[in-house]
Amino acid sequence: MTAQSFETLPPRRSPLSRLFRALPVVGRVIREVEREIDTIYYLLVVALTAVVLAVQIWGLPALVLTALALVPVMFVLLVILARP
């Protein structure tokens, strides 16, 4: 086999990546973001709108639960930024 034939093979994905891609909603979102990176901005707007509507409906508990869910995300982000 020549080196050129290896370039046509699709990239190998991890089992976790294949699992996420197999989920109906999450997999479609992942594929859309891969095709067009601007889709992520639409996702952020949708998420922010969902939080605002949840706070309007349920009040402070919705805001507290949203902040509680974002604690691990921010922790991972800080660890990534603090690495030398």
34-82 confidence digits (pLDDT tens): 899 888 999 999 999 999 999 999 999 999 999 999 999 999 999 999 9
- pTM for this entry: 0.66
Residue where the block lists tokens 């080196």: 3
Q: Judge whether residue 3 has pLDDT over 80.
A: no
- Residue 71 in any domain: the answer is yes
Reported confidence tier of residue 7, pLDDT bands at 50, 70, 90: low
- Residue 3 in any domain: the answer is no
- For the chain, first and last CA: distance in Å? 41
- Residue 69 in any domain: the answer is yes
Residue 21 burial by Cβ neighbours in a 10 Å radius (0-12, 13-18, 19+): middle
Mean pLDDT confidence for 5-16:
71
**Predicted local distance difference test score (pLDDT) of residue 4:** 56
The boundaries of the domain holding residue 72 are 12-82
Instruction: Report how many domains make up the chain.
Output: 1
